[in-house]
Amino acid sequence: MPDAVSGLRMSDLESGAANYVIRVHGDLDDIDASAWNELLSRQDQPLPFLRLEFLRALHDTGCAAPDEGWAPAFVTLRRDGRLDGAVAAYLKSHSYGEYVFDWAWADAYQRHGLVYYPKLLAAVPFTPVPGPRLLARSDADRRVLLRALQSLAMQTELSSAHLLFGNEADFEAAEAVGWMIRHGVQFHWRNREGAPYADFADFLSALQREKRKKIQQERRRVAEAGITFEARAGREIGEADWRFFHRCYTLTYRAHGSTPYLNLAFFKRVAAELPDHWLMFIARRAGQPIAASLVAIDADRGWAWGRYWGATEPVPLLHFEACYYQPLQWCIAQRYQCFEGGAQGEHKMARGLTPTPTRSAHWLAHPQFARAVEDFLAREGQGVAAYLDELRERDPFKT
């Protein structure tokens, strides 16, 4: 991966963004973490997953590294030596770990004798969390970053460039430079506006009767199985807890015939470098731990993200208790604003999470395929809009 890209001085395209230098970084150690994180702190929602420590941990522990099909191609924009724009991007040799599915596009390329991989991807590996992807001080610089990604893809003869789970500012920039927008749906819990829930019982009282009864029955069955929970936040999570959690996480992936994306070295690394951003729930029976779930948190903004879980043995309904009810109970007690339950999962509506639109942006180099994908996305977008309308008619809360 070249460290510099020629021909990317685009002051003629962006009148307010002259005198900048675009660089592509294959080595994340070339990027100053304090400058990156300071730029991140200026965004609308500075996700902990975009901190350079998190991204470096993925790379350095081999989870998102070239050997795994994730070759870093981070793009930075500097003006007078100051970091004014940045985007975490990768050359991808597959579509695993993205949660925006383009396998059909890759298959269509192959059937027509064209090469789809590698492609250029602006995303956080294995992390379908909406938030800023184009870190910038201005809308003009966001557009510059997108054009830099597009130019990088063209100069290295890649099939396409993609930006996943961005925020409103990202997609305004993407539409301005002609990228195609794809729509999706996730399920998030939000605290009651104006009068936050006093406790979990107060939250249940806001749900429709059948939803409330279902949750009560599910929680009762887990309690009757002799399961108790302990919540540990930040530095309360010890090394033994992390090892046990990783064991559960790995066993559960294997039980589903899958290989986990993340290793113990990664979890130990982020525990050491970003300790305040983690919350772990440990399930015990007869004093012995049997399951654990891990939630990422931003205490300053009152936001939580359900991320990973696992168990050493199957217990009916334990997943719902560990991954939804315990985190929601904790978020309510801490007066958090939002809990995001992860990708997909219409079943989450029965647990009080409601549909939330998500988006991604795409650019394809091949004109005919670009037109075909644009037509597909228009039809798919209509379907997603109809699906959202249907879901909202099934609101789990009292009207």
Contact 365, 338 (CB under 8 A): no
**Three-class secondary structure of residue 28 per DSSP:** helix
CA angle 226, 230, 231 (to 5 degrees): 150
- Averaged pLDDT of the chain: 94
Tell me: pLDDT of 5 over 50.
no
Confirm whether 20-185+356-393 and 192-336 share one CATH topology.
yes
- What's the whole-number mean pLDDT along residues 317-323? 97
The predicted-structure confidence for 8-50, as pLDDT tens digits, reads as follows: 444 333 434 468 999 999 999 999 999 999 999 999 999 999 9
The distance between the two most distant Cα atoms of the chain, rounded to a whole number of Å, is 69
Domain regions of the chain by residue span: 20-185+356-393, 192-336
What is the distance of C-alpha 399 from the center of its chain?
A: 31
Looking at residues 89-98, what average pLDDT do you find? 97
Q: For strands 303-311 and 89-92, give the pairing.
A: unpaired
Indicate the CATH number of 20-185+356-393 among 3.40.630.30, 3.60.15.10, 1.20.1740.10, 3.40.50.920: 3.40.630.30
Confidence category of residue 173, pLDDT binned at 50, 70, 90 = very high
In this prediction, residues 224-248 reach a mean pLDDT of 98
3-class DSSP state of 40: helix
pLDDT in the model for residue 342: 84
For the record, the structure tokens of 320 come out as 């719902």
Domain 192-336 sits in CATH 3.40.630.30 = yes
End-to-end CA separation in angstroms for the chain: 55
What's the CA gap between 165 and 329, in Å, rounded? 27
Band (104; pLDDT cuts 50, 70, 90): very high
pLDDT tens figures, 155-167: 999 999 999 999 9
* Spatial distance between the Cα atoms of 74 and 137, rounded to a whole number of angstroms: 17
- DSSP state for residue 7 in the 8-state scheme: T
pLDDT digits (tens, 9 = 90+) for 189-208: 999 999 999 999 999 999 99
> What is the predicted pLDDT for the residue at 13?
36
pLDDT at 6: 39
pLDDT of 2 strictly over 50: no
Q: How far apart are alpha carbons 2 and 170 in whole angstroms?
A: 26
| Percentage of residues of the chain with pLDDT beyond 90 | 92
Q: What is the Cα–Cα distance from 301 to 111, expressed in whole angstroms? A: 47
User: What Cα–Cα distance (Å) separates residue 352 from each residue in 192, 231, 295, 301?
Assistant: 12, 21, 17, 21
Q: Where are the alpha helices (DSSP H) in 236-340?
A: 239-255, 264-273, 318-320, 326-333
- What per-residue confidence (pLDDT) applies to 345? 84
Would you say 296 and 277 are in contact if contact means Cβ atoms under 8 Å apart? yes
